Amino acid sequence: MLKTLLMKPFLLLFSFLESCATATDVIHLFRRINATHGIRDVIIRNDNGSQFLANEVKAYLKSVEARQEFTHIATPEENSYIEAFHSILNREVVQ
């Protein structure tokens, strides 16, 4: 599951779930977010999924002046806000 949390200090901008996202999907998502909200100077915190590690994604984010930050492997507590959000979303909406 692709989990993305975009934050300007204390402001949640967007969350997106998809089961089999590719680097191309991630770039399209960030383009849509950039068009509607702007992601310049935004810190994008994500896990170490291959779709986020792809050079194309890194290059795109650099080109729009967004900063990418990765969590450490096997430490879901570093991503606790989005983990909690997805847990609530799954419990209240999906199920």
34-68 pLDDT, tens digit each: 998 888 988 888 888 888 899 999 999 999 999 99
pLDDT computed for residue 31 by the predictor: 92
Determine the Cα–Cα distance for residues 74 and 78; give it in Å rounded to an integer. 9
* Domain positions in the chain: 5-94
pTM of the model: 0.68
Q: Residue 62 corresponds to which amino acid?
A: K
CATH class, range 5-94: alpha beta
Contact between 50 and 73 (Cβ < 8 Å):
no
pLDDT computed for residue 87 by the predictor: 75
